[in-house]
């Protein structure tokens, strides 16, 4: 199933692909679909190569009119092609298999109405699961899809949906009710040239809401939003269209190239692994972005950013595409950077850079401090390398470094370079240097040293101020000191800013002075600050231009702790939050100090995403970083505090909802479980808080994990909510039952019996990990190491990654898990580097936690 970069290069040297005509029959039952591919391509005469086709059965292979023996040329993954002509026509007639892992052509049955919903997900190498294809991004071609499906379905692909033509009715098995199904055929226009990984097919009785806009070149672009019939009532299409329109206008102006495709459909599809996928003109999204219950505003904002991220890919990724997956990071980082910029400058989400700082940068810093971190530009030798590289370096560090690059060359110059790039490379493939060349020309800055330091080395630097004063308030020296970790000793050039903040008469922390400068090497003097009076708080990396950890001087830290909630702006406050979080993770400051800081300030936090991230970090601190002897009581007092905060929060506020959910997740003693019960049963009502469908599940799972509710209650709740989400939540709840039997059952179903589709498996893993009494999970450490190599060898990438990362034995935190990991890694050797990498990342979390616990243990309680 692998493909190496060398194989891809060799194949690209031999071939140039003209077109594919893919005919699919989606009326053949629950397991397989018919797939016929006709490929026209040029080749070096006499050459041999292969086409990718992951098939259930191959019925016929015809190359230039000659029938080949399928059993000889196909191994179910590749079809060998020998003695090619200058111009070739290949026909492959095969059966493809529906997937339930979110990879390839995924099939889902809605429990509400028994309707079948399909969608394709092809990145990285899964278009070959739907049709025969030379699957690599630089072999672009035109794709024509002809699809036969039940007549009542909607069928969506990259080209606008044509009028279907009736086909013969068959006695079908496409719905679980059986019976005779009227069929129709949709014959789509060929697409413009594109890579196979951005082609798409979404089919089923999806419902549609339409709109349109006018593109920069005057074309009418039809817009569509799609969802399953049973979810459509919850789709707020107007909000999605509004963000989409803002994005179109912003990108067309910034990029200087009109939207490249004929229409823009956005489809919410079931059991989707990622947030979304940038199929050209047919973007798919996870259904968690359809809000059937109230969600945190952070999630609404995240959806907006995701809409803008995918839209940016229509230019960067789909119109101009990386030659090979080693530039995947640039694809993702560009979309991530541009979506935040578009949100901040062209939508209501004007504080999007605060969100970016809180969410993206904490992801990037975490990933970049793992022992498995890697340079942004990493060698990608094969498909396995690509799949594990959808990580915090590719998305979050890359985007952070692009932000730094924009500060370095200037935003106007950056965009001018980007416009040139699109103008020159539309519809083709590129490499990093193609973009850097344009940025150098536009900015006049030489980026070779910059690129070397930032893109070709790993690790994160720390910036801290070094201040001297004459004994009074006046500073006699000011420098920024840069350090690097021993494993990654590179010091880098940073464009950064220093902010001076003072507490004003109204008690607010207000910026009174700012300098912007280049920092390089170990120590950068800042003469323009010498002679000034020392302010209450000094922030290096003000405005968050740099990608670096930040430390505060002692004075400033003291101010920050007293006045964190008093920052006038959310971005500097978030930078201080980030700094205290790093110091906690790094074992520099005690975990319980962080707990106290969060509890004392979170109610005043204005940014929903920051609240969400702080609550997540609070959970991690409680479970992993607080000293073992204090953990139980710290969790209990944190749960009490969160319930108090929920009761005090403004009626119906975002804070109220987030505090209630976090409280429920932690609730463990009798009084707390009584409070959860009261919320669920209506014994206590919080003003403005609706106990809606999803919140009911959260509260029920909390009661199940607390031993208060059991199987019958779960079944009853599923009766009330017999939907796909209800089924997932019920599965999570069953795995959260605090008995050895329930944990063993969840484990066996996931690991041994491979029972679940992707989304249900994910829920079961989450439920399994819910355990107030962590000794329930201890027996699974050995089972984990006994199982995972086999899991990795036999399950798809997505499914095995869920298992390997999700079930890693990090509860309870223990040195035994580290020892077991080391023994496993010793015997694994370098057989499967991608598996090795995931396991090492799990190990590092535990090692970090052990160090943080030691730091927290060392705290002597002050009376």
Catalytic residues, by residue number, are 310
Q: Which is nearer to Zn ion, 330 or 763 (CB)?
A: 330
Q: Which H helix or E strand runs over 134?
A: none
Decide if residue 307 touches Zn ion (CB under 5 A): no
E strand spans, 740-845: none
Contact present, 761 and 791 (Cβ < 8 Å): no
Q: Which is nearer to Zn ion, 335 or 341 (CB)?
A: 335
CA distance 105 to 95: 12
Structure tokens at 82: 């020998």
Question: First vs last Cα of the chain: how many Å apart?
Answer: 63
Please report how close the Cβ of residue 278 comes to Zn ion at its closest, in angstroms: 6
Q: Which is nearer to Zn ion, 335 or 377 (CB)?
A: 335
Please report how close the Cβ of residue 307 comes to Zn ion at its closest, in angstroms: 12
Q: Which is nearer to Zn ion, 41 or 315 (CB)?
A: 315
**Phi and psi of 175, rounded to 5°?**
-110, 150
Contact present, 649 and 656 (Cβ < 8 Å): yes
Q: Which is nearer to Zn ion, 126 or 332 (CB)?
A: 332
Please report how close the Cβ of residue 123 comes to Zn ion at its closest, in angstroms: 9
Please report how close the Cβ of residue 43 comes to Zn ion at its closest, in angstroms: 32
Please report how close the Cβ of residue 626 comes to Zn ion at its closest, in angstroms: 36
Please report how close the Cβ of residue 236 comes to Zn ion at its closest, in angstroms: 23
Contact present, 196 and 49 (Cβ < 8 Å): no
Decide if residue 464 touches Zn ion (CB under 5 A): no
When CB distances to Zn ion are compared, the closest residue is 335
Three-state SS for 574? helix
DSSP tag of 474: B
E strand spans, 152-310: 154-157, 165-171, 180-187, 201-204, 207-214, 220-227, 264-269, 276-277, 282-286
Q: Which is nearer to Zn ion, 278 or 536 (CB)?
A: 278
Please report how close the Cβ of residue 144 comes to Zn ion at its closest, in angstroms: 26
What Cα–Cα distance (Å) separates residue 340 from each residue in 407, 761, 809?
Answer: 15, 32, 35
Contact present, 238 and 198 (Cβ < 8 Å): no
Decide if residue 282 touches Zn ion (CB under 5 A): no
Please report how close the Cβ of residue 352 comes to Zn ion at its closest, in angstroms: 17
CA distance 416 to 862: 59
Contact present, 179 and 213 (Cβ < 8 Å): no
Please report how close the Cβ of residue 785 comes to Zn ion at its closest, in angstroms: 34
Find the DSSP H helices in 501-607. Answer: 554-563, 570-585, 591-601
Q: Which is nearer to Zn ion, 402 or 545 (CB)?
A: 402
**Phi and psi of 488, rounded to 5°?**
-135, 75
Three-state SS for 172? coil
Q: Which is nearer to Zn ion, 254 or 443 (CB)?
A: 254
Pairing, β 475-483 against β 462-469? antiparallel
Contact present, 770 and 697 (Cβ < 8 Å): no
Q: How many residues bind Zn ion (CB under 5 A)?
A: 2
CA distance 702 to 696: 10
Please report how close the Cβ of residue 196 comes to Zn ion at its closest, in angstroms: 17
Contact present, 709 and 690 (Cβ < 8 Å): no
Q: Which is nearer to Zn ion, 394 or 761 (CB)?
A: 394
**In what order do the strands lie in the sheet containing 264-269?**
207-214, 220-227, 264-269, 282-286, 276-277
Q: Which is nearer to Zn ion, 54 or 335 (CB)?
A: 335
CA distance 535 to 219: 56
Burial of 392 (0-12, 13-18, 19+ CB in 10 A): buried
Q: Contacts with Zn ion in 313-332 (CB under 5 A)?
A: 332
35 closest CA partner among 131, 172, 150: 131
Decide if residue 277 touches Zn ion (CB under 5 A): no
Contact present, 336 and 358 (Cβ < 8 Å): no
DSSP tag of 750: I
Q: Which is nearer to Zn ion, 394 or 579 (CB)?
A: 394
CA distance 205 to 154: 5
What number of helices (H) and strands (E) belong to the chain?
28, 28
749 HSE (CA, 13 A, CB side)? 22
**Phi and psi of 163, rounded to 5°?**
-65, 130
Q: Which of 335, 346, 571, 750 binds Zn ion (CB under 5 A)?
A: 335
Q: What is the CA radius of gyration of the chain?
A: 28
Please report how close the Cβ of residue 275 comes to Zn ion at its closest, in angstroms: 8
273: Cβ–Cβ under 8 A, 6 or more apart, which residues?
102, 103, 121, 758, 798
Region binding Zn ion by CB under 5 A among candidate stretches 52-60, 299-307, 333-341, 681-689: 333-341
Decide if residue 415 touches Zn ion (CB under 5 A): no
Pairing, β 264-269 against β 276-277? unpaired
Q: Contacts with Zn ion in 340-359 (CB under 5 A)?
A: none
Please report how close the Cβ of residue 314 comes to Zn ion at its closest, in angstroms: 11
Decide if residue 124 touches Zn ion (CB under 5 A): no
Q: Which is nearer to Zn ion, 25 or 332 (CB)?
A: 332
Q: Which residues are at the interface with Zn ion (CB under 5 A)?
A: 332, 335
């Amino acid at each position: 199933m692998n493909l190496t970069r060398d194989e891809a290069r060799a194949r690209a040297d031999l071939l140039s692909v003209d077109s594919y005509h893919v005919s699919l029959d989606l009326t053949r039952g629950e397991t397989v679909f018919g797939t016929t591919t006709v490929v026209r391509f040029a080749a070096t005469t006499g050459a041999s190569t292969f086409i990718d086709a992951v098939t259930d059965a191959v019925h016929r292979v015809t190359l230039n009119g000659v029938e080949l023996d399928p059993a000889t040329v196909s191994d179910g993954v590749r079809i060998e092609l020998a003695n090619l002509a200058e111009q070739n026509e290949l026909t492959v007639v095969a059966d493809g298999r529906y997937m339930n892992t979110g990879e390839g052509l995924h099939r889902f049955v809605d429990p509400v109405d028994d309707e079948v919903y399909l969608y394709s997900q092809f990145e990285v190498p899964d278009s070959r699961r739907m049709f025969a294809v030379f699957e690599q991004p630089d072999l672009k071609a035109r794709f024509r899809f002809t699809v036969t499906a039940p007549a009542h379905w909607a069928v969506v692909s990259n080209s606008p949906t044509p009028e279907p033509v009736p086909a013969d009715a068959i006695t079908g098995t496409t719905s679980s009710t059986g019976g005779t199904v009227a069929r129709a055929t949709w014959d789509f226009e060929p697409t413009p040239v594109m890579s196979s990984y951005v082609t798409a097919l979404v089919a089923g009785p999806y419902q549609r809401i339409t709109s349109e806009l006018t593109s920069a070149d005057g074309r009418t672009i039809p817009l569509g939003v799609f969802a399953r019939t049973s979810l459509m009532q919850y789709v707020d299409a107007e909000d999605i269209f509004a963000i989409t329109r803002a994005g179109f206008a912003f990108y067309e102006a910034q990029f200087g190239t009109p939207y490249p495709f004929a229409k823009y459909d956005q489809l919410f599809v079931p059991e989707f692994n990622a947030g979304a996928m940038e199929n050209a003109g047919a973007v798919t999204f996870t259904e968690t972005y359809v809000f059937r219950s109230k969600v945190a505003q952070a999630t609404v904002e995240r959806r907006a950013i995701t809409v803008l991220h995918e839209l940016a890919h229509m230019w960067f990724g789909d119109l101009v595409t990386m030659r090979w997956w080693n530039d995947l990071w640039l694809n993702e980082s560009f979309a991530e950077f541009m979506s935040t910029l578009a949100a901040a400058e062209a939508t209501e989400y004007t504080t999007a850079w605060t969100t970016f700082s809180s969410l993206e940068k904490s992801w990037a810093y975490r990933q970049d401090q793992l022992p498995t971190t890697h340079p942004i530009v990493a060698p990608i030798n094969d498909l396995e390398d690509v799949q594990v590289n959808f990580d915090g370096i590719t998305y979050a560090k890359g985007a952070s470094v692009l932000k730094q690059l924009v500060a370095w060359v200037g935003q106007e110059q950056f965009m001018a370079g980007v416009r040139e790039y699109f103008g020159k490379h539309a519809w083709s493939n590129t490499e990093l240097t193609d973009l850097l060349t344009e940025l150098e020309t536009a900015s006049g800055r030489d980026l070779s040293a910059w690129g070397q330091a930032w893109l070709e080395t790993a690790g994160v630097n720390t910036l801290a101020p070094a201040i001297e004063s004459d004994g009074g308030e006046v500073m006699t020296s000011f420098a920024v000191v840069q350090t690097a970790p021993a494993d990654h000793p590179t010091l880098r050039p940073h464009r950064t800013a220093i902010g001076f903040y003072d507490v004003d008469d109204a008690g607010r922390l207000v910026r009174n002075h700012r300098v912007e400068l280049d920092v390089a090497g170990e120590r950068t003097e800042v003469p323009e600050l010498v002679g000034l009076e020392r302010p209450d708080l000094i922030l290096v990396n003000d405005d968050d231009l740099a990608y670096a950890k930040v430390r505060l001087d002692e004075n400033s830290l003291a101010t920050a702790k007293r006045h964190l909630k008093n920052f006038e702006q959310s971005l500097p406050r978030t930078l201080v939050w980030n700094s205290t979080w790093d110091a906690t993770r790094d074992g520099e400051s005690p975990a319980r100090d962080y707990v106290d800081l969060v509890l004392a300030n979170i109610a005043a936090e204005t940014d929903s995403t920051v609240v969400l991230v702080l609550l997540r970090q609070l959970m991690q601190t409680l479970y992993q970083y607080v000293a073992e002897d204090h953990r139980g009581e710290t969790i209990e007092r944190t749960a009490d505090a969160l319930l108090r905060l929920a009761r005090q929060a403004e009626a119906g506020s975002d804070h109220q909802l987030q505090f209630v959910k976090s409280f429920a997740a932690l609730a463990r003693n009798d009084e707390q479980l009584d409070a959860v019960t009261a919320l669920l049963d209506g014994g206590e009502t919080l003003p403005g808080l609706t106990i809606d469908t999803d919140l009911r599940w959260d509260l029920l799972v909390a009661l199940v994990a607390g031993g208060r509710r059991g199987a019958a209650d779960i079944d009853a709740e599923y009766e009330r909510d017999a939907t796909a989400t209800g089924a997932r939540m019920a599965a999570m709840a069953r795995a959260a039952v605090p008995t050895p039997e329930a944990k063993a059952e969840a484990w066996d179903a996931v690991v041994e019996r491979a029972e679940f589709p992707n989304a249900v498996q994910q829920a079961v893993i989450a439920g399994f990990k819910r355990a107030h009494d962590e000794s329930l999970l201890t027996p699974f450490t050995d089972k984990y190491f006994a199982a995972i190599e086999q899991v990795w060898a036999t399950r798809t990438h997505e499914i095995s990654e869920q298992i390997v990362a999700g079930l890693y034995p990090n509860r309870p935190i223990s040195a035994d898990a580290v020892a077991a990991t080391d023994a496993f890694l010793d015997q694994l050797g370098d057989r499967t580097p991608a598996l090795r990498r995931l396991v090492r990342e799990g190990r590092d979390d535990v090692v970090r936690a052990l160090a943080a616990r030691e730091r927290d243990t060392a705290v002597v309680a002050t009376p």
